[in-house]
Structure 1
């Protein structure tokens, strides 16, 4: 979709962040509009015909999750990307349950955000997303070993590698290897895509078993 045929709406309570993101996306050819609060954005959201949303996850008036839920209630949902800080992955998973297309962890490269916005724009043409059908996801899950499934549960729950390693009584390096294998077998290009596939398959984040047998 041509970048001038839709508007990217940036919602963040920090002015410096809004200006930085707006500058980046404007210089990349996007039409951008900024909003200083989720409440302000909700006031105009029902009037938006073609738009994408880039929103911070933690804001003082309401969280990014609450914003998406309110958009859904108002039947004003649009392709949305949530920006999250380190340690907010469980909250980001909740945002995806509420309808977010993607989440990006800070700090991130400019190209990562630009690619995510372009992907969101494609959603304006064809929804729902058909990139990964549920049967295909289940077929990929069948390729995972029991240990990889345990690691996947920890990853989707937002646990860091060190915590997963401690709970499974394996080394952090082994967890990294399992994560790489999971990403390859699931054909996931990012953590957000992996989480999205897990949610489509009905996998709920769970705590991994503690102190399993070392492998």
Structure 2
């Protein structure tokens, strides 16, 4: 049984034993973990939703091609960045892959340090995007806990409306506004409106659907 991939690393997918070994050794000299795959089929079989890292993918593989692997990854909505290893004759294919969302391509023969530097750069960008995505998902989950009234109160407050004005706008008492505002800030894990304003647009708050209406 194939062990699922989970740890962030560089996945080297190449059907040439010598190239796989050379690349694995090259990355080890820069303290970069790798996992090698002799075919696109083997890599795809081991893929899980938790798989992370960067894929260094030979564009011409035995079995399914690197481009077919890339297409299947797109169909799976995988977010792992893909860097193609290409020969000179593959440049048009590689350029087209870039247009389809590949991170980059590196032409053989390549400079060892340049290749590792580029892969590390892609990995850093990937990890940053993953962190941003996790933060956005956490924010969305907190927004989903707000009632519709809490969204309205916070949205108006973020637009600069005073509690008295919000009460008049929503035809509720100032005390009710204060309660909704305090409860909403607590749910959003924000200590103040200023802190919340750094990550939430008032239009986003008021246009959403809360979990309740009171």
TM-score interval (norm. to shorter): 0.5 to 0.7
Match of 1:71 in 2: 73
Measured at CA, do residues 84 and 122 of structure 1 come closer, stay the same or move farther in structure 2, by a change above 3 Å? same
Report matched runs for 1:51-200 at 5 Å: 51-127=53-129
Q: Distance in 2 between matches of 1:33 and 1:24?
A: 13
Q: Distance in 1 between matches of 2:50 and 2:85?
A: 21
Match of 1:22 in 2: 24
- How many residues are matched? 124
Shift of 1:27: 1.5
Report matched runs for 1:6-17 at 5 Å: 6-17=8-19
Report matched runs for 1:38-57 at 5 Å: 38-57=40-59
Measured at CA, do residues 127 and 113 of structure 1 come closer, stay the same or move farther in structure 2, by a change above 3 Å? same
Shift of 1:46: 2.2
Match of 1:207 in 2: none
TM-align CA RMSD: 1.7
Tell whether the 8 Å contact from 1:46 to 1:74 is kept in structure 2 after alignment: no
More helix by share: 2
Highest CA radius of gyration, 1 or 2? Answer: 2
Cα deviation per residue 1:138-171 (whole Å; 9 max; x = unaligned)? xxxxxxxxxxxxxxxxxxxxxxxxxxxxxxxxxx
Tell whether the 8 Å contact from 1:68 to 1:98 is kept in structure 2 after alignment: no
User: Is the deviation greater in 39-48 or in 105-114?
Assistant: 39-48
Shift of 1:47: 4.5
Q: TM-score, normalised on structure 2?
A: 0.54
Q: Distance in 1 between matches of 2:85 and 2:33?
A: 19
Q: Which runs of 5+ in 2 are unaligned?
A: 1-6, 131-214
Q: Distance in 2 between matches of 1:98 and 1:11?
A: 19
Q: Which runs of 4+ in 1 moved over 3 A?
A: none
Q: Distance in 2 between matches of 1:85 and 1:71?
A: 22
SS for the counterpart of 1:125 is helix
Shift of 1:62: 1.8
